[in-house]
Amino acid sequence: MAYPPSFLPPSSASPSGGQSPSGRRPAYGFSPQFPVNAYPAVAPAPAAVAAQRPAGIGVAVSMTVTASALWICALATAWLFAEAGQRSLASGNEADSQIVLILNHFTARLGDGLAWPLVGFPAAAIVAAFLLLTRTAWSRIVFTALGVLSVLWSGWWLQSGLWWWIAPAAYVGLATGLVWTTAATRWIQQAPRVVRS
């Protein structure tokens, strides 16, 4: 008598010696092989995807931080060289005395208070640029107000030579304008709000 391959008659030996794992023979002469996971697992719900930061915000932050840090480093280096130059050329000849007079005038103006806006505006701009990444409306207003103030102050400071003022004003204007694009406005408006009880 022929049996299907998956069924064994009760009298014949099973592949495991006629014994089930519990030590008894199968009740019907076969041991069914069902897959452990017969049904596919339910896929988890996709996590909420955060809105991608607009390129304008990233460019504005990079422009502000890079230019401000370079300006602070250049000003500090020039101040140190001016101080060192005064001391090394103080007992020189007449040509050296002219250079010492220029260096003395430069360090005196910085020491009299010019260093505060020249360092303060860039340092505040770095902080304001990083605050833009918090996606708050007030950080964009602070960033813009700081840019406008720095352009107005530099125009007053360089009023005798406005050609020197055009490039920095255009640079600040571009960085400030990038945070008011449509994509930047939408990104800030769609920021998740923290609800406090």
Overall residue count recorded for the chain in this entry: 197
Q: How far is CA 166 from CA 43, 154, 173, 179, 183, in A?
A: 58, 10, 10, 21, 28
Amino acid at 143: F
pTM listed for this prediction: 0.70
Instruction: State the average pLDDT over residues 114-119.
Output: 95
pLDDT in tens, 66-86: 999 999 999 999 999 998 888
Question: And the tokens for 160?
Answer: 């005798």
Q: How confident is the model at residue 30 (pLDDT cuts 50, 70, 90)?
A: low
Structure tokens at 158: 């360089």
What's the gap between Cα 1 and its chain centre?
A: 78
The whole-number average pLDDT for the span 121-131 is 97
Greater model confidence, 187 or 30: 187
Model pLDDT, residue 193? 75
Mean pLDDT of 31-45: 57
pLDDT at residue 31, as a whole number: 54
